[in-house]
Each structure stands twice: as structure tokens, then as C-alpha cells.
Amino acid sequence: MSKAGTLIAVAMLAAGCAGLGASANDGPNVLTTMGFGLPDEHATARVGLFRQKYPGIDLRITEGAFDEQQFLSAVASGEPPDLVYADRVKLGGFAARGAVQPIDECVRRHRVDLSVFRSAALRQVTVDGHTYGLPDFATVKLLIINNPPVRAAGIDPAGMSATDWALLAAQTSTLTESGGGRLRRIGFDPKLPDFVPLWAKANGADLISPDGRRAMLDDPKVVEMLRYTTDLVKAQAPWASFKAFKDGFDEFGAGNQYAKDQLAAMPMDSFYINTLATNSPDVDVTVKPFTDRAGNAFTELGGQAWAIPRGAAHPEQACDFLVTMTAKDAWVTAAKARRDGLAAKGRPYGGTFTANRDADDEIFSAVYRPNGNRIIEQGVPVVLSLQEKAFTLPPSPAAPDLIRAWRSAAVRVLNGQQTAEQALADAQREADLALRRVIGR
Amino acid sequence: MLFTAGPMVFSLYLSLTRYDMLKPASYVGMDNYRELISDPKVATALYNTLFFTFLHVPLQIVLALGLASLLRRAGRASGFFRTVLYLPVMTPPVALAAMFLLLLNGQTGAINELLGWFGFTGPNWTTDPVWVKPGLVVMSLWTVGSTAIIYLAALSRVPGELYEAARLDGASPWRQFWHITLPGISGTIYFTVVVNTIASLQTFTEAYAMFFGNSETADSQGDSALFYVIYLFQQAFSSLRMGYASALGWALFVVIAVITVIQVRVSRRLVHYESEPR
């Protein structure tokens, strides 16, 4: 082969390997998604509704959890999916960095009434006054108390709360059980480092400024919170033993920590009510709102959102999809399908918690079917009462770094490597540096 | 050449830029290299990686050599044991990590249960910062079979008449091992030391899956499992600092090159090749 021929062959090989051929996105009616799956009726029924409404669109769902690396690489390469489904904290950060595009025009075209979405959820997808996605599910955090061990210790579960920190520490000490050098029961698990933002808010502090451009990790109230919560853990057992004991829980099974009396109380995400109701319907628990130090009920709202990546090939069809998926009628259809699916297995339906207020109103008035399950009947009203009392972390362009900074700080204190003051001072420095890098502040 | 040198040259260029994948790269000179020298996380990650390497490589070599010696005496059953020994190597690393997360649990894990039978109270392997790295070393020995198979092949090539002569001269088994076996397979040992060292310095999958792959375990052990490549990955794909991550990659390349050069120099005195004149 001549030199020129060899060069052409190498170039052709390189071009082929570099993916210059036609991709799925190139089809005019092909719509691709990332980060979404079809695990239950909530997904399948809504997708079915979209396919029915837009029969000309070839929807291709690549099932799997959201992968940040995969997503950003796809955006950077100029071949992103048409839609992305991810945790709102992450999407807010991507919006702030320009990895997803504003959908203001889409919202206008479909006359979407944004006021039907829970304000905290909408706040997470709004950056500089522009909407970057539509919120999907909504979860809240609340307190779940294991009644038998609490009552056995002479404590009224209804009176147990996170309001009086000194009292909670005393109750925790009473409820904790150890034996043979090992922890047998956790009295109260503050869920560190995951629930640091919730505890900070309970003590009247925010970790990030409302515009997402300033970290406030060394605020004395945050320091006080971290000192208290880490002491609460360390008073029960060294962190290494505490964490290892927790890691041994069969959290999503019939032998979970409530059923096996391994835990007396903890704050938890609302989805766990349905988990308990399904896996161990006979556990005797009290579900209560989490409270701040003044006794006011409040919570942290979480969940996912749909957004359109920058450079998406079919933004208009993507817009049709995300509007359909988050609309009231789609949620109600999905809720009915879910209820019927669970009923076929003889299970109760504890409702579907969405970020769409209108959808929730309809679901909990017409579809909800607890079938006498005590955990659901007690827990669901608490969840519903909390949804409008929720705060969220504001979207920040340095969100992953900020979250990592306070999580690591909490663990350093738990491990006894640093005091709360030292750890949060270091975390503040890390956060400032990360923000400076991203926004040049 | 196209697929190896190309990305390497491009990453060298990226290491001199600030690049977040979403906006065009901007040239920052040696800033990324200056930053990595003063970044305390780099020092932590490097310490963790070297600690793991210096513990893992000798243990892997000794254990593999011991297993290969036993296998050699297995006679006709050798084929069966060879297969059994190699099977664990085929376990996917993520499955391995999930399995060892359960086995190494300080409160309920089977390894501490086993230690308990002999009167020992095992540590919290997965949650105590002091024991996280030794725990990872224990897990890494799961794949000792691949090195053992290489040693078995090397042992079979050591001439039998040398042992015969040594036995006639009254040499003990230990002296035979020290003066015949070790020199006989020193080239193979050298090869496995170099390859295992490079692989250890690039350790990622198992530690990432165990300690950084989900929110339940993420950060739970502080920075004690923060290996160098994990930190590089976090900087690249979580903080979107492709320039800094590229600089970290090149710094690791230099560290590996220096360690390998030292190993090459040391090997000149210790490794015996059959073709060399005596």
C-alpha cells in the first residue's frame, strides 16, 4: 500500500472509532434520555401516556442511574441525550454551570403553570430567574420512632423530638444499649453526615447563601450544631463501631433495624414509610415531623428533576416530554397504576409524593389506598403537612465541592481527628476555594 | 501510537489549562502543578496510595510464592487447584468490593467472626480510619491467584538437578530455597513486583466501589481510603477540573517512573538471568 493509501486507511479507521457515524440522536423523531429507568408503574404509566400522546416520537430510554461523568462527557462531546433526569441538587449545579439549558420558552409554549410546583422544588431548578428543569418526585425528612424500646425506657414516643437538645441527649443515653463491648441498639441516630443541612437549619443556620455563591460553614451556629450532633453519636459508641453497626442493618428487608430493635429513633427520608409498610407492616412506630429548637416543624425537600442538556438535538420534543411527565394527569394515571399494581400483590398504596401540588391533591383525595396499614395511615398525613414547610439547598455552581466539604468535616469530627471548629474552618476554606475556582469570586 | 500518545499529549496540554468540559480551556501555565504541591489532599492521597502499595506488593509476592510452592507439590491434582486458585481473579471488582464490605464489617462481618473463634477481637475494618487501608490490603489478596500461577510456571523451569546436587551436599530445604529457587525465579519476581507496584499505585475500582460509590458509604471513613486516582477522578468528574486532574495524572506518571527506575537499578544487583555469564 502506498503512503497516501496508508494515511487514508488510518484516517478512516480513526474517524470510525471516533464515532463520526450516525448516532441514535440523529434521527428526526428520536428522543433519548439519561438517568431514568422503568422500575415501576410511576415510570411505565407516565411513559405510556407520553407515547400515546406523541405516537410520532421514537422515545429511547437508556435505563440506569444518573452518572455525572457520563452526562458531562456527553455534553462536552457535543452529543448529549435529549433529556436528563437527576437529583435536583445536581441539576441546579449543572444549570449554574451551563450544562443544561433554560426551558423558559418551553414553559411558555406549553403554558405550564409553574405555581403548581412546590416552591422549594422549583427554587432548586431556577437560576438567575430562569427555569432550567421541571421537578419530578418530592421527598421530605421526618422522625421515625421505634415505640417498644422507647416506651420500655419510660419515654413517651409522642413527646420525643429534636427540639430540646439536652433532653434528646439524655433520652439517647437511656435508649442506647451495649453489651460485650458491642453496640446492641442505637438510641438516636442523627444521620450524619447526610443530614448536616437539616440539623444546621434546625439551629437556625444555612450552609449556602441563597444565591449559591457563598458558603457559610464556619458560622458559629453550624459549629454548635456539629459539636452537638457528633457528641450525640460519640456518647453512644466510637464512630467506627457506630457506623459498622449501622452498616449491618437490613434496611430494606423484613429484618430491618426497627423490626430487630437495633434502633430507637432517627430522622429519615419519607420514602422509608412505604418501605417499612411493605417489608415489616407490623412494626410499631411513631412518625413525627422534625422540629427546630423552637419546636417548629420543618423539613428538607429532595427529589429529581427533568432537564434538557445544552446541545440537545431535539429540544422541542424533549420539552413535550418533560411537560407531559410532570403534569397532573400523568401523575394521577401513574398513581392509579401503582395502586392497582400493589393491590394485585395484596399490598397497601401509601400514595405518590410529587413536586406537583395539584397532582398530590388529586392522588391523596381519590387514589390513595392505605388499606388499614397503620404506618402509612400515621405517616402520610405527617409527610403532607411538611411539604410546604420545606427548605432546600440553593443551586450552586460548586455544589459537589461544598457538599463534600461539609460531609468530610463532619466525619473528621466523628473520627476524633479534629474539633468541630477546626473541621468547619477547614471546610470553609475548601468551599471558598472551590467557589473561587468556579465563579472567580 | 494514535490512541495512546494522542491522549497523553492532549492531557499534557490540558494540565496547563483550566478546563471544565463546558467552556473552552484557558491557559494557566504551571498553576495546576503549583497547586498540587500545596494541596493537602494530594499529600493524603499519595500517602494512602504508597501505604497500600508497600503493604500490598510484598504480601502479594510472599503469599503467591507460598501458594505456588504448595501447588508444585500437588502432583496430579495440580490442575484442579490451579483452576480453583485462579477463579477469584475472575470476580468483577465491584462485586468483590460489595462482598468484602459485608465480610469486613467490624460488628457483623465473617472475618471478625472468624477471628473471634481464636479469641481475637477484630477491628472495624471498614469504618476505623486506622484499619481501612489494612482492610483493603486483605481484600486485594483475593486475587493472589494470578501471581501464584506465574510463579508456578517459573518454578517449573528451575532445573531439578540443581536441587538434587544441593540435597547430596546436605543443603536444608531453606538453603535450597534461598540459593536455588529464589535466584532461579528472580527475573519473574522482579517482573511481578514492577507490574504489581504500578497496578497498586493506580488502585481505584475496589476502593471507590466500597467507600465512594454510594451515599451510605461516601466519606464515612474520612480520607483514609482516598487513593490518588480516586482524588484525580473526583477532581475531573465531580469538580469538573480537567486541567487539574490532568496535572495530577502527570504527577502520578512521574512518581511511577521514579519508583520503576529505582526498581530497575536495584534489580541489576538482585536479579539473576539464565543467559547471563556467571
Asked whether the ipTM of the predicted complex exceeds the cut of 0.85, the reply is no
* Å between A402 CA and nearest CA of chain B: 10
DSSP A34-60: ES----SHHHHHHHHHHHHH-TTSEEE
CB contacts of B22 in chain A (<8 Å) are: 72, 75-76, 97-99, 310
pLDDT at A438: 81
What would the pLDDT profile of A24-35 be if each residue is shown by its tens digit? 555 678 999 999
Q: What are the helix and strand counts (H, E) for chain B? A: 14, 2
- Residue A333: strand pairing partners: none
pLDDT at A439: 80
pLDDT at A19: 37
From the list B128, B219, B239, the residue facing A434 with the nearest CB is B239
Identity at A109, one-letter amino acid code = R
- Look at A95-99, B242-246, B272-276 and tell me which has the smallest mean pLDDT: B272-276
pLDDT of B24 higher than 80: yes
Mean pLDDT value across residues B260-277: 81
Q: Closest residue of B to A401, CA-based? A: B239
Rounded to whole angstroms, how far apart are CA atoms A257 and A410? 24
- Look at A225-234, B127-136, B220-229, B260-269 and tell me which has the smallest mean pLDDT: B220-229
Q: A156 to each of A273, A388, B237, how far by Cα in Å?
A: 21, 28, 48
Report residue B275's pLDDT band, with 50, 70 and 90 as the boundaries: low
H or E stretch covering A245 = helix A239-247
User: Quick check: B180 and B158 in contact, CB under 8 A?
Assistant: yes
Contact A97 B216 (CB under 8 A): no
Contact B2 A14 (CB under 8 A): yes
Rounded to whole angstroms, how far apart are CA atoms B144 and B96? 14
Which of B4, B10, B19, B22 should we substitute to test contact with A (largest number of A Cβ atoms within 10 Å)?
B22
* Å between A428 CA and nearest CA of chain B: 15
Mean pLDDT value across residues B43-66: 96
Mean pLDDT value across residues A372-397: 93
Backbone angles phi, psi at B238, to 5 degrees: -110, -45
**Pick the residue with more confidence: A91 or A103?**
A103
DSSP strands (E only) in B79-189: none
What would the pLDDT profile of B188-228 be if each residue is shown by its tens digit? 999 999 999 999 999 999 899 888 876 555 666 778 899 99
Contact B106 A400 (CB under 8 A): no
Mean pLDDT value across residues A292-300: 97
Contact B241 A239 (CB under 8 A): no
pLDDT at A25: 55
User: CB-based burial of residue B199 (10 Å sphere; 0-12 exposed, 13-18 middle, 19+ buried)?
Assistant: middle
User: Quick check: A102 and A125 in contact, CB under 8 A?
Assistant: no
pLDDT averaged over chain B? 90
Q: Which runs of consecutive H residues, i.e. helices, occur in A177-238?
A: 196-202, 220-234
Backbone angles phi, psi at A269, to 5 degrees: -70, 150
DSSP B213-235: SSTTTTTTTTTTT--HHHHHHHH
CB contacts of B236 in chain A (<8 Å) are: 69
User: Quick check: A288 and A382 in contact, CB under 8 A?
Assistant: yes
CB contacts of B216 in chain A (<8 Å) are: 247
CB contacts of B99 in chain A (<8 Å) are: none
Contact B238 A68 (CB under 8 A): yes
What would the pLDDT profile of A304-319 be if each residue is shown by its tens digit? 999 999 999 999 999 9
CB contacts of B217 in chain A (<8 Å) are: 247
* Å between A411 CA and nearest CA of chain B: 6
What would the pLDDT profile of A75-97 be if each residue is shown by its tens digit? 888 899 999 999 998 887 788 77
Give residues with Cβ within 8 angstroms of A149, minimum separation 6.
A175, A185, A261, A264
What would the pLDDT profile of B139-171 be if each residue is shown by its tens digit? 999 999 999 999 999 999 899 999 999 999 999
pLDDT of A63 higher than 50: yes
What would the pLDDT profile of B83-120 be if each residue is shown by its tens digit? 888 899 888 988 999 899 899 998 889 999 999 999 88
pLDDT at B274: 65
Which of A67, A182, A243 should we substitute to test contact with B (largest number of B Cβ atoms within 10 Å)?
A243
Comparing CA positions, the residue from B209, B203, B215 lying closest to residue A192 is: B215
Percent over 90 (pLDDT), chain A: 78
Report residue A400's pLDDT band, with 50, 70 and 90 as the boundaries: confident
- Look at A62-66, A275-279, A289-293, A295-299 and tell me which has the smallest mean pLDDT: A62-66
H or E stretch covering B45 = helix B40-72
Q: Enumerate residues 383 to 412 of chain A having a beta carbon within 8 A of any beta carbon in chain B.
A: 398, 400-401, 404, 407-408, 411-412
Give residues with Cβ within 8 angstroms of B250, minimum separation 6.
B11, B12, B15
User: Quick check: A359 and A376 in contact, CB under 8 A?
Assistant: no
What would the pLDDT profile of A413-436 be if each residue is shown by its tens digit? 999 999 999 999 999 999 999 899
Percent helix, strand and coil across chain B, each to the nearest 5:
70, 0, 25
Give residues with Cβ within 8 angstroms of A101, minimum separation 6.
A132, A307, A308, A309, A310, A312, A315
- Look at A105-114, A394-403, B219-228, B258-267 and tell me which has the smallest mean pLDDT: B219-228
Q: Does A8 touch chain B (CB under 8 A)?
A: no
Q: Closest residue of B to A70, CA-based? A: B237
Contact A14 B215 (CB under 8 A): no
Query: Is-cis flag, bond preceding A370, omega within 30?
Result: no
* Å between B43 CA and nearest CA of chain A: 15
Contact A415 B129 (CB under 8 A): yes
Report residue A3's pLDDT band, with 50, 70 and 90 as the boundaries: very low
Mean pLDDT value across residues A116-141: 94
**Pick the residue with more confidence: A410 or B272?**
A410
User: CB-based burial of residue A27 (10 Å sphere; 0-12 exposed, 13-18 middle, 19+ buried)?
Assistant: middle
* Å between A375 CA and nearest CA of chain B: 24
Report residue A437's pLDDT band, with 50, 70 and 90 as the boundaries: confident
Q: Does A87 touch chain B (CB under 8 A)?
A: no
- Residue B17: strand pairing partners: B27
Report residue B32's pLDDT band, with 50, 70 and 90 as the boundaries: very high
Cell numbers representing residue B252 in the block: 502520578
pLDDT at A24: 52
Comparing CA positions, the residue from A374, A127, A157 lying closest to residue A273 is: A374
Q: Does A82 touch chain B (CB under 8 A)?
A: no
User: Quick check: B126 and B104 in contact, CB under 8 A?
Assistant: yes
Does the model's pTM come out above 0.90?
no
What would the pLDDT profile of A150-179 be if each residue is shown by its tens digit? 999 999 999 999 999 999 999 999 999 998
The three-state secondary structure class of A384 is: helix
CB contacts of A68 in chain B (<8 Å) are: 237-238
pLDDT averaged over chain A? 91
Mean pLDDT value across residues A361-370: 95
DSSP A79-131: ---SEEEEEHHHHHHHHHHTSB---HHHHHHTT--GGGB-HHHHHHTEETTEE
The three-state secondary structure class of A182 is: strand
pLDDT at A2: 45
